[in-house]
Amino acid sequence: MTAKPPPIPFNRELDFEYGRSDRVSPLIRRVIAPNSGPFSFYGTGTYILGSGTVAVVDPGPLIDSHLEAIKAAVAGETVSHILITHTHIDHSPLAAPLKAWCGAPTYGYGPHGSGKIEQGVEVEEGGDRDFAPDVELRDGDVVEGDGWSVEALHTPGHTSNHLCFQLPEEAALLSGDHVMGWSTTIVSPPDGDMKDYMASLYRLAERDDAIYWPTHGAPIETPQDYVRALIAHREAREAGILDCLSDGMIRIDEMVPRLYAGYVPPEMYPAAARSVLAHLVWLVEKGVVSADGPLSIDAAFRPA
Ligand SMILES: [Zn+2]
């Protein structure tokens, strides 16, 4: 019997209109880009911090109408900072034209894959390879604005360069794609890393942030309980993978239907397979599982 992950209390409600700037808290406004999809929900939520002199967080994908919507939202104000949670193509590419328009410097951990390159791992998958921040932030760095400040939290896992931004004035955490309320996040090797992702979840569970503002979807208002549900879900998924292996399944494409039937539609199985690979990479690192040859989606895995 395969262990089934416990349900996660997802919230797929969202009151919005594309291009409209909504004040969602005293210090935060949000404009949503029209890039809905299976991984981006209704689209990228670009956050604007402060009033008068503001930061723009995750300008989003290269969509002209979204750039115009951000410009309209900050009309008559000064953009002093452009903050980037990570370098996926639905987050960072619009930073370049926004910077060309407003002149503000960009802040982020580093180029795509930079957290892995530091560990000697070459990242070959997609991502926004054109973005490099003007200012590289490290864990604990504080960025001060006019009436707002954020502390960078390095939260690798979804990507190796993922940052969350904590806004102390509201005990709020801009959680990027690390923790989203509408869905679990994608953890796809080699840049995505399950061990790092779990460590980043445990770290958030220990904190006392009052609310999370993810890039996609509605805020999370019971964040520690939600993070604990994500941890339990991934732990149960790992147990399910170990069950598959002890039942003699050796290939990821055999395991995915057994693990995900009823959870995700078959067209999402390729993404689910990346997640199973991420778990298996970590199990190999832990010495629990062995693989024939390089760790890839086609490798054969066995209990060690
Ligand atoms: Zn992402």
Alpha carbon of 44 to ligand 1 centroid (Å): 10
- The whole-number pLDDT of residue 223 equals 97
- The whole-number pLDDT of residue 27 equals 98
Alpha carbon of 90 to ligand 1 centroid (Å): 7
Residue 5 pLDDT grade (very low, low, confident, very high; cuts 50, 70, 90): confident
Alpha carbon of 86 to ligand 1 centroid (Å): 7
Alpha carbon of 88 to ligand 1 centroid (Å): 5
Alpha carbon of 199 to ligand 1 centroid (Å): 18
Q: What is the pLDDT of residues 46-66, one digit of tens each?
A: 999 999 999 999 999 999 999
Q: What is the pLDDT of residues 237-285, one digit of tens each?
A: 999 999 999 999 999 999 999 999 988 899 999 999 999 999 999 999 9
Residue 41 pLDDT grade (very low, low, confident, very high; cuts 50, 70, 90): confident
- The whole-number pLDDT of residue 263 equals 83
Q: How many CA atoms lie within 13 A of 207 on its CB side?
A: 21
Q: What is the pLDDT of residues 153-207, one digit of tens each?
A: 999 999 999 999 999 999 999 999 999 998 889 999 999 999 999 999 999 999 9
Q: Averaged over 141-160, what is the pLDDT?
A: 97
pLDDT above 70: percentage of residues in the chain: 97
What single string gives the DSSP state of each residue in 157-195? SSSTT-EEEEEGGGTEEEEETTS-SSSPPP--TTTS-HH
- The whole-number pLDDT of residue 34 equals 96
Please name the residue ranges forming H helices in 74-155.
Answer: 95-102, 114-117
- The whole-number pLDDT of residue 7 equals 83
Alpha carbon of 174 to ligand 1 centroid (Å): 13
Give the Cα separation of 150 and 176 in Å (integer).
Answer: 14
Give the Cα separation of 202 and 183 in Å (integer).
Answer: 18
Strand (E) or helix (H) holding 54:
strand 53-57
Q: Is residue 1 scored above 60 in pLDDT? A: no
Alpha carbon of 121 to ligand 1 centroid (Å): 19
